[in-house]
Chains A and B, each alone.
Chain A
Amino acid sequence: MWRVVSAGWRWIVAAAFLTMVSTDQLVAGNLHDTGAPLSSTLPTAATPPPFDPELAAALAVLGETLPSSLTPDMIPILRAGMTNVPSVPDEALSRGGAFQVEERAVPGPDGAPDVSLLICRPAGAVAPLAAVYHTHGGGMITGDNRVGIEGVLDWAQELQLVVVSVEYRLAPEHPHPAPVEDCYAGLVWTAAHAVELGIDPERIIVAGASAGGGLAAALALMARDRGGPALAGQVLICPMLDDRNDTPSSHQMAGLGVWDRTANETGWTALLGDSRGGPDVSPYAAPARATDLSGLPPAFIDVGSAETFRDEDVAYAGAIWRAGGSAELHVWPGGFHGFDLMAPQAAVSQDARAARLRWLRRVLGG
């Protein structure tokens, strides 16, 4: 089972590796020390929301074998650990011939190397199909374009979609804007070659989870600002949006669950270096920094109530609505970061997955 199904969720294992399980940061003094405006609204002892019972049980098992913390110098160790988990093999991608699988090198950003696109096309499709352009997760520091692909292939199989999953350069070796510009270059190429790929250019959506959700949100902003591909939607699954790492939920969940604020700081610092949390961070790095969220494609945003990203993800949906946009927001009670990937059988995970599929069906008219 590990071999067959787990490889696709490597990013979430990575996320779990990055979790702090110490409770030091729950000390009230720490919250005041941050000096952040949002912190002042917190009660001194911000009781975290309880985990969903089934998710808590899953966490109890996975937590058994996970190290408790990660600092930037541990990124190489983390990546080494990841290579021990086999990637999704080609035969798992083709799903018994349901998809034609191809890996293609396409031009990267100006002066940068090519980017590799993993393309999975439903076999035997004649008419142009809608497409999901997928940006994988892994905290900006780990993962490849097969991470998280299985959930996307589930949608593709159900709704007859082409899947294009981009391999982007990782931080800290390649800080911002390398990762997101790689992703954008691949998106532009995909849209330009839609006919060749059997894709309906009017029905391309971007989708990603965690860091990949942040990248997908950034792609929607870039495509709007640069007059790039017209996107039909953006699926942001527990997206990593805000480098400031200072929301009530980021404090409340410190030391708990998956990808706490220490891990989050590690990821953002890898991407942005010293500018993390400062005044000059680009919205293409951290979409929560965007001051204009008008003119974006319809968004689907989901997040757990018991995770670091809860408040920044809810705020992003709110900002889209305030800008006159369309967003569907789900906050799943008791969900930790990536809960439906780590515990797909839990009742709340089944509901979360069904909600995504329903939205896709509505938006893509599939």
Chain B
Amino acid sequence: MRDLVGRLSALDPDAGAALQVIAYFDRLVETRAGLEAIVRGAAVLAGCPACLTDSERGVHVRVLPDGGRADAGPPPDPAWPRMAVPGGAATLWLERPPPPGPVGAMVLERAAAAARGVLDRTRGRAPARRSEDDPALVEVLLDAGAPPAARSLAARELGLPGGVAVRAVALEGGVAHVAPARKPVPEGVRAGVGPAVDVLDLPRSWALARTALRLAAEGTPQDPGPRVVHADELGGLAVLAAAVRPGAPPDPDVRALERAGSEAPWMLATLYAVAYAPSLRAAAARLTVHHSTLQDRLAHAEQLLGWTVRDPRGRLRLQLAFALRRLHHDTGPA
């Protein structure tokens, strides 16, 4: 194809060369060549490195003008001639200064059109616009009953490459979010975070995420506790969650906690701090009250609850009462 390059550059760029570029890519399409062959054709015919990327579908192919594949390249320069592959989010560019010239422009156009066909055929039609949380696709992805092929396709369309750990996140209100595990959890709302899994294992991650969400608190004085809960850290609380089903009557400790909470606005936040702080002194610091004030509050609280919260056993009972209260607030799907 060094011959091709020579032949093209020797021809009238407005007529002959364009026709030959068309013939080249038409033949690639006809013989069902792959993306690398198409990008290589662009690089060779244009005489500079060419690169095709499609972040949605995890595609990155870069080829040098000598035909060698070299995916690592310089960061794309916005000035380089480029063309969006029609119908998707893929872009093909030529790594050289503008303008592309008539041959370069034809190479971009024909290569992009050829790449579109391959992308549609091999990687599914791209979504019209990028949407990480396209509800229909997420639904397929999280549905253990959906065929694995359908779930794989949904994953690709959501831009989740295979082989990368992903997780389901259950957001307040039951909204599902799926993302690579290394990405941060959405902020600002209650969230239960499922374990990192392979794409096809997302239904399991989703089930655990929803359990975690039930234990995520509002983070307010009336519902103290963390707003984001990771399923990985639940331990036996997951078993407890499974035991609290819709319609189950709150157990006596939860009722006692509710009763105490209605007695004073500081009550629940104070008890929560005592339940989870390493010491009473630390709890006082966290509540920004004097140690003696805390002692007074706890004496009052213990009277209402009916058990002491100043020894480990009592604190465990208090922790369980908070967890059960959360679970009763949010009894999960029927």
Contact = CB atoms under 8 A, between A and B. Distances in A.
Chain A at the B interface: SS class:
helix
B2 A5 contact: yes
B40 A54 contact: yes
Interface string B23-38: 1111110111110110
Nearest to B34: A53
Interface residues of A, number: 29
Looking at B1, B30, B33, the one whose CB has the most chain A CB atoms below 10 A away is B1
Contact of A5 (B6, B32, B36, B67): B6
A346 B23 CA distance: 16
A1 B9 contact: yes
B40 A343 contact: no
B27 A57 contact: yes
B66 A61 contact: no
A58 B45 CA distance: 10
Contact of A58 (B4, B10, B32): B4
A1 B5 contact: yes
Interface string A1-22: 1110110010011000000000
Contacts of B9: 1-2
A53 B20 contact: no
A67 interface: no
Interface residues of B, number: 35
B96 to A, nearest CB: 15
Contacts of B123: none
Contacts of A53: 27-28, 31-34, 37
A38 interface: no
Contact of B24 (A57, A342, A347, A350): A57
Contacts of A50: 31
A344 interface: yes
Interface in A54-94: 54, 56-62, 64-65
Given A1-B9, A50-B31, A54-B37, A344 B2 contact: yes
B98 interface: no
Contact of B3 (A60, A62, A64, A347): A62
Given A2-B10, A5-B2, A53-B32, 15 more contacts: A13-B3, A50-B31, A54-B28, A56-B27, A57-B25, A58-B4, A60-B24, A62-B4, A62-B7, A342-B1, A345-B2, A345-B43, A345-B67, A347-B40, A349-B67
17 contacts: A1-B6, A1-B9, A1-B47, A53-B34, A53-B37, A57-B33, A61-B7, A61-B23, A62-B4, A64-B16, A342-B3, A345-B1, A345-B2, A345-B40, A345-B43, A346-B40, A349-B67
